[in-house]
Amino acid sequence: MTHDIHIIGGGLAGSEAAWQLAQRGYRVRLSEMRGSGDTTPAHHTDGLAELVCSNSFRSDDDEKNAVGLLHHEMRRLDSLIMRAGETARVPAGSAMAVDRDAFSAEVERMLAAHPNVTIVRERIDQLPSEGPTIVATGPLTAQSLAQSIVAATGQDRLAFFDAIAPIVHRESIDMDICWIQSRWNKRNSASNEEGDYINCPMTKDEYLAFHQGLMDGEKTEFREWEKDTPYFEGCMPIEVMASRGVDTLRYGPMKPVGLDDPRTACPEFPQGRWPYAVVQLRQDNKLGTLWNMVGFQTKLKYGAQIELFRTIPGMQNAEFARLGGLHRNTFLNSPLVLDRQLRLRNAPHIRFAGQVTGCEGYVESAAIGLMSGLMAASELSGREWQGPPRTSAFGALLSHITADAEAETYQPMNVNFGLFPPLHDVKKKQRKEAYTSRAKSDFGAWMEETALVPA
């Protein structure tokens, strides 16, 4: 064998993983399909770490912003993506944006020049049956390899169409208007004490105005290579459902039956009356800090979503951890199929990294690639892996992917403070600074304890 580890995919995650391993003395074979005669519908070049959408890595503020904090932690671990990003940086205020061509060229230059990295332009069609491997093929994994992943994980563990419902920070919901209850008060062993859903009630006039807003709101179009992917009934955009009739939503995700609005309690209805329509939110993480809008996958543009969804009673001040969307994607149900070191449970010689694990965004993809590289290096050296603290940006993101998210509703997620263990004793205005201060302290201590200094 001419290499110690095989990395499949030369995007942000695969490139970062290769760098971390190579810097620690391990020989890496980095396989990239583009340049071998194959490509994806979204890419335009053969360059490693090509940025196919935006050229922004979002906020670089590491004092009040979760993604900025992730930048900080990546820099402390000598991230290739952060290094190349600085080299290719262009003005963007407090955000970090790059010249995408210069950025890709710098990543490829640094990896090609590294004596421990061999870049091979080849398409891999099957998961390797043996040998340490990291799969970082991104959201447009080639069909043959995707089929091999399906065979290894199960048909229901890999999604090809990403139906994303908006996620709201729990503390921004007005509970003087909303209430918690399960429909017909039905519970199971996993139920919360009060109930499983936050319910936002609507009058007839409010519902009709909301329905019209769905019909009129500005929507995004599918990209050309997505148009042959049909809707599934289970992930129908809410505005498509609304177009089927004014009452369709009231008999679907917004049905009010079995939900008693306590504000309308009276002698005849001591528990309260049923509203005309209800928007329900379901707990999205084990911490209870994030709640998703049930059935609200949508193609509305982001600005239109914020404007319309804040007309929902109780959500007038809603803060969104993620907005809705619907697009072609390939990602694992990671809480089910991956262990805490990103290894495939039934084939632990294979790790996954990047967007295929269900993280969202350039920075998050690279960050998970970095962690997969460190995990693999630890395993190759025979050292026991000690993961980053749950209070850090890395730890929060890894916990979401491997443990904290609900497998039944698992969806791609950007890093955000809703993934961090909450600080209820800190005033809301000071909470972001408190999150970052705690994270930096705990992350620094972890680096010292584990000797994970830049190689």
Distance CA 411, CA 420 (A): 17
Check the annotation: does 288 bind a ligand. no
**Residue ranges in 295-353 assigned as alpha helix (H):** 302-309, 334-337
Q: Which long-range contacts (CB under 8 A, 24 or more apart) does 124-130 make?
A: 124/8, 124/31, 124/33, 127/152, 127/347, 127/350, 128/6, 128/349, 128/350, 130/349
Say whether 138 counts as a known binding-site residue.
Answer: no
Would you say 324 is a known binding-site residue? Answer: no
Instruction: Please give the structure tokens belonging to residue 439.
Output: 């994270």
Q: Is 12 annotated as a binding residue?
A: yes
Are residues 382 and 320 in contact, defined by beta-carbon separation less than 8 angstroms? Answer: no
Residue at 219: amino acid letter: K
* CA–CA dist 308, 310 (Å, integer): 5
Question: Which one-letter amino acid corresponds to residue 286?
Answer: K
- Tell me if 66 sits within 8 A of 125, measured CB to CB: no
Closest of 358, 412, 330 to residue 142, by C-alpha = 330
Sheet containing 179-180, strands listed edge to edge, beginning at the edge strand earlier in sequence: 179-180, 197-202, 277-283, 290-293, 167-169, 320-322
Residue 143, C-beta contacts closer than 8 angstroms, at least 6 positions apart = none
**303 known member of a binding site:** no
11 is in an annotated binding site: yes
> Token pair for residue 453?
């200094």
Give binding residues for FAD as ranges: 9-14
Give binding residues as ranges: 9-14
